[in-house]
Amino acid sequence: MSTWLWLIPGSPFVGALTIALLGGRLPAARLPWFACAAAGISALTVAAAWLGGAAQEPLRQTLYIWLAVDGWQPSVGFTLDRLALVMVTVVSGVGFLIHVYSVAFMDKEAEQRRYYFYMNLFLAGMLVLVLADNLLLLYFGWEMVGLCSFALIGFWYRDPVKAAAGRKAFTVTRIGDTALAIAIFLLFVQFGTLSFDVLFPLGEGDWEGATAVALLILVGALGKSAQLPLQVWLPDAMAGPSPVSALIHAATMVTAGVYLIARTHPLFELAPGVQWTVAAIGVLTIVYGASCALAQHDIKRVLAYSTVSQIGYMFLALGCGAYALALFHLATHACFKALLFLSAGTLIHSAGGEHHIGRLGELNAGSRTVQLCFLVGAASLAAVPFFTAGFYSKDAILTAAWVAPVGGLLWLFAALGALLTGVYIFRVYLTVFHRSAEPLLRPRGRLPTPIAVPLLLLAALSLSVGFLEFPEGSGGPHTWSTWLESELDLAKHPEHHTTRVLQALSALMAVAGIALAFPLVRRERAGKSLPWQSFLQTGWRFDALYARLFVQPYHRTASALARWVEQGLIEAGLNGLTRGFWVMAAGLRRGVEFGSVERGLTFLVVGLQRGHAMLSATQNGLLSRYAVSVTTGTLALLGFWLFWPWGG
């Protein structure tokens, strides 16, 4: 099985290359299915890996070592351990479903070749990222997915707003990428290797640089995963097509930060302060995202803020040392959030590109299936007790947060977030699907199969995945965390009674949130808006703040530099200089230029040309001269050896 490991990222990579190089020769109607096949082979290989024993023993494959110089061995090597297995299953599975969905969704688009090229390339990059056995290759995948994210957000680049959203995403994540790169440099300087096997575990010895490196890795993760304070790019990233939002900005790429921290967790355990910061940023982001989602009118922006908030839960789990639970929430979130995005996308599609939830409700274009799927996704997101996957994953994180330092406070924030989650998602559901007035648009016919199948599959998963890990103390099996225990330590939970109380409270929060959504929607229909509506809708005015703090000063400095330094100083100076030089040159021209300077400057050129000419003259075709040259050369060599100081 190990020998086939390369096929997981290799198949979409070859797919992307083929689409780029030969895509013009494929019939246009086949192109989407070709891309799907590439993603499908990858997913099948993952399935084969499950059967082939990857779930027991890590599989390894080193494809290629570029050049080995001492300890520096940049290799393309893959390790499929349990952590990576979880990730590749989510990425390739959801990735394949979304590729299939795209076939119908992007049907009418003109530039499908570009779309599928980037989709396949993204999948390859993401799989390289999670399979990499060293940080350098991980970083390569990290940059590749960043590039594809940029290109796909700006897929409709002729609309300047959308192109700008792509640029913003790229620029903001770049801050994180740079931090990660510096962290990698520091690790290499310290340990002389970037291979995970050698790097982790770091051993018992505490290393002073750990705090700095962990902090830098955290910044990298914050950028990719859109956590406070680098969250501003994600809501704008919704400018891309909905399948892209589902795949890149909900299920996979944005969770790369979670994966990164889980992968490098020994480092964070050496720096407890940084680890607590991870949790603190997590809870702040939970409340931030949930509160912002409350006030959005664009359905995709609600989901974007919800993603920000949900990834906050994963960061909270990471910060509390509950790595397996973070991954668990990552997996369930990938299912229900992809489901939400895809059903929202279908809805938007059938409503002719309408994003506003109020107007979507008036149009009422969604079919029964879409409504059902959205309801399942919303219930799972709101963590409706017992039925939904979201309940099992979120609930476990909440109890685990209680035992962390200052756990009470963390729990309080997270529980507040859980309450708000129920409110905002059911606000959307009720506004869009439960409209008493007569619908303007009747749903037309059945959903196309490539759309219906992924939706239903994801819905089934959103309900069932949770049963892998029953709540602490419930007596149910803990399949997930015990299976991951060999690589990621078990999470600590508070004592039995406290756990019970906390679980009851958080379940109550979810239900209460959903209940609160009803009066809220009624209020909104009556035309009253939330308090602090505009503050929340603009994402706590972060964009304005950053514009004031960074963007405007930057532009102002640039224009000041342009005006004062460029025009005032340099150009004026240059003008003066030019005039001066002009005068001087005119003087010098007579005296020096025709004299020494020209000769000096052209000396080199002429010398080389002269050398060429002289040597060329020796190539005169005269046999005897050639023979003389051979003889002279022989004598010269013998003479050199005999009479040279170090010879003889």
Partner 1 sequence: MANDLVALLPFILLAMGGCIVLTLGVWRRYVSTWTMTMVTLSFLVASAVAAALWTVPQQVGAMLVIDGMSLVFTLAFTLGTAAIVLLAYGYAPTQGETRDEFLSLILFGTLGMALLASTKNLLAAFVGLEMLAVPLYALVAWRPSRPGAVEAGVKFGILAGFAAAFFLYGIILVYASAGTLDLTGISSSDVEDRMLTAAVILVLVGVGFKLALVPFHMWAPDIYQASPAPVTAFVATVAKAAALAFLIRLLSLQLPHVWEDLLPVIGLLAVVTMVVGNLLALRQQNLKRLLAYSSIAHLGYIMVALAAGNDLGRDAAIYYTVVYVIMNIGAFGVVAAVAHSAGDRETLSDYSGLGRRDPALGVAMGVCLLALAGLPPTAGFMAKFLAFGAAVDADRVALAVIAVLNTALAFFYYLRILVVLYKERGMVSVPRANGTIRIVVITATVATVLLGVFPGWLLNINYLNNG
What is the Cα 296 distance to its own chain's centre?
24
User: Minimal distance in Å, beta carbon 614 to partner 1?
Assistant: 9
Shorter beta-carbon distance to partner 1: residue 445 or 621 = 621
Give the CA angle between residues 127, 130, 133 to the nearest 5°.
Answer: 115
Distance CA 558, CA 191 (A): 40
Question: Closest CB to partner 1 among 440 and 627?
Answer: 627
Least Cβ distance, residue 64 to partner 1 (angstroms): 6
Q: Are 384 and 303 in contact (CB under 8 A)?
A: no
Q: How far is the CB of 618 from partner 1 (least distance, A)?
A: 7
Interacting residue ranges for partner 1, rule: CB under 8 A: 64-67, 608-609, 611-612, 615-616, 618-619, 621, 623, 625-627, 629-630, 632-634, 636-638, 640-641, 644, 646-648
Of residues 528 and 610, the one with the C-beta less far from partner 1: 610
Minimum distance from residue 628 beta carbon to partner 1 (Å): 10
Dist. CA 517–CA 533, nearest whole Å? 16
DSSP per-residue letters across 310-350: HHHHHHHHHHTT-HHHHHHHHHHHHHHHHHHHHHHHHHHHH
Pick between residue 64 and residue 386 the one whose CB is nearest to partner 1: 64
Nearest CA among 318, 233, 249, 309 for reference residue 543: 233
Q: Which is nearer to partner 1, 51 or 605 (CB)?
A: 605
Q: How far is the CB of 605 from partner 1 (least distance, A)?
A: 11
Q: Answer left, alpha or beta for residue 610, where phi above 0 means left and psi between -120 and 50 means alpha.
A: alpha
Q: Which phi and psi angles does 551 have, rounded to 5°?
A: -70, -50
| Nearer Cβ to partner 1 (21/562) | 21
CB of 23 to partner 1, least distance (A): 17
Report, in Å, the least distance between residue 604 CB and partner 1: 12
Phi-psi map region of 448: left, alpha, beta (phi>0 left; psi -120 to 50 alpha): beta
Which of these, 248, 462, 466, lies nearest to 372 by C-alpha position? Answer: 462
Q: Which of 316, 160, 342 is nearest to 247 (CA)?
A: 342
Residue with tokens 């290759």: 137
Cα 361 to chain centroid distance, Å, stands at: 32
- Work out how close the CB of 644 gets to partner 1 at its nearest, in angstroms, rounded to a whole number: 7
User: Minimum CB separation from partner 1 for residue 325, in Å?
Assistant: 42
Question: What are 498's two structure tokens?
Answer: 């406290």
Q: Give the nearest distance from C-beta 66 to partner 1 in angstroms.
A: 8
Is residue 420 within 8 A of residue 350, CB to CB? The reply is no
C-alpha–C-alpha distance, residues 363 and 358, integer Å:
9
Q: Which amino acid is at 411?
A: W
Which residue type does 234 have? L
Q: Which residue lies nearer to partner 1 by CB, 554 or 641? A: 641
Cα–Cα distance for residue pair 395/499, rounded to 1 Å: 10
* Beta carbon nearer to partner 1, 548 or 610: 610
Between 583 and 636, name the residue whose CB sits nearer to partner 1: 636
Query: What value, to the nearest 5°, has the Cα angle with vertex 641 and ends 638 and 643?
Result: 100
Shortest Cβ 633–partner 1 spacing (Å): 4
Block residue for tokens 């790369």: 256
Two structure tokens written together for 371: 């409504």
Q: Smallest distance, Å, CB 615 to partner 1?
A: 5
- For partner 1, the closer of residues 110 and 623 by Cβ is 623
- With vertex at residue 448, the alpha carbon angle to CA 442 and CA 449, rounded to the nearest 5 degrees, is 145
Q: Output 576 or 611, the one with its CB closest to partner 1.
A: 611
Rg of the chain, C-alpha, whole Å: 31
Cβ nearer to partner 1, comparing 55 with 637: 637
